[in-house]
């Protein structure tokens, strides 16, 4: 219904197959950095070649219909938004899963989506952080303030803990920093000043 009424009819799109493949690609790549060129290359393997400018238009249509929300990349050191690339998240897990199904390996993606949707629902502008060669899952800004959030399925072992907390420790400002996971029992409440919240605790927090 969203595709046909809110997108195909409104924008008089006739290439239904291309739009369907594009939605499938975004559903399968939730939580991954996506650029239009990569989508174009994928579409060619599906036998449906489209220019980058056409793909950008279609992505804009999907965003306008609120099927997906876009999180652009933000250079923490340079303090600028990258013109290209970012992540697409579905506002509704059910719609996403109806397209590609649910796989146990996708739990991390769904945790990330929950965190992203909660931040946007609380009025934050949300970006994917870039710090040299590291990725910070989310930088959320609102009314001149910001928070940093790492989202992961489980803090399973010391290496994972060091990675998730360690990326945030490399950010040298004093804004709040959080690691969110689905650990049923907390392995730690904080790590060198960075708070650890379960996903449920995070979703109950009204920032």
Q: Are 113 and 180 in contact (CB under 8 A)?
A: no
Q: What is the number of H-type helices and E-type strands within the chain?
A: 7, 8
Q: Are 18 and 43 in contact (CB under 8 A)?
A: yes
Show the tokens assigned to 111: 């945790």
Instruction: Please tell me the predicted confidence (pLDDT) of residue 120.
Output: 97
Q: How many Å apart are CA 133 and CA 63, to the nearest integer? A: 28
Q: How many Å apart are CA 42 and CA 131, to the nearest integer? A: 28
Instruction: Please tell me the predicted confidence (pLDDT) of residue 47.
Output: 85
Instruction: Please tell me the predicted confidence (pLDDT) of residue 187.
Output: 65
Closest Cα to residue 27, out of 76, 99, 81? 99
DSSP single-letter state for residue 142: E
Q: Write out the chain's pLDDT in tens, 207 residues.
A: 777 778 888 888 888 889 989 999 999 999 999 999 999 998 888 888 889 999 999 999 999 989 999 999 999 999 999 988 999 999 998 999 999 998 888 999 999 999 999 999 999 999 999 999 999 999 999 999 999 999 999 998 889 999 999 999 999 999 999 999 998 777 678 889 999 999 999 999 988
Instruction: Please tell me the predicted confidence (pLDDT) of residue 206.
Output: 87
Q: How many Å apart are CA 12 and CA 104, to the nearest integer? A: 37
Q: How far is CA 124 from CA 23, 121, 139, in A?
A: 25, 7, 9
Residue 22 half-sphere exposure, CB side, CA atoms within 13 Å? 29
Closest Cα to residue 149, out of 111, 99, 185? 111
pTM of the model: 0.92
Instruction: Please tell me the predicted confidence (pLDDT) of residue 150.
Output: 98
> Which residue is listed with tokens 């980058």?
52
């Amino acid at each position: 219904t969203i595709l046909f009424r809110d997108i195909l009819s409104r924008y008089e799109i006739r290439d239904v197959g291309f739009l369907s493949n594009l939605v499938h690609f975004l559903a399968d790549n939730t939580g991954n950095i996506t650029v239009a060129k990569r989508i174009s290359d994928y579409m060619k393997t599906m036998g449906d070649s489209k220019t980058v400018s056409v793909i950008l238009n279609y992505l804009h249509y999907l965003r306008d219909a609120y099927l997906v929300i876009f999180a652009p990349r933000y250079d923490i050191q340079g303090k600028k938004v990258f013109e290209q690339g970012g992540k697409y998240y579905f506002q509704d897990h059910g719609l996403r899963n109806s397209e590609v199904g649910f796989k146990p390996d996708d739990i991390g993606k769904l945790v990330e989506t929950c965190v992203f949707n909660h931040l946007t629902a609380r009025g934050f502008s949300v970006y994917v952080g870039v710090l040299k060669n590291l990725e910070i899952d989310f930088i959320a800004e609102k009314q001149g303030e910001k928070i940093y959030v790492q989202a992961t399925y489980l803090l399973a072992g010391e290496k994972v803990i060091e990675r998730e907390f360690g990326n945030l420790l490399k950010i040298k400002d004093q804004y709040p920093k959080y690691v969110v996971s689905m650990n049923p029992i907390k392995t730690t409440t904080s790590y060198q000043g960075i708070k650890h919240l379960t996903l449920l605790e995070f979703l109950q927090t009204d920032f």
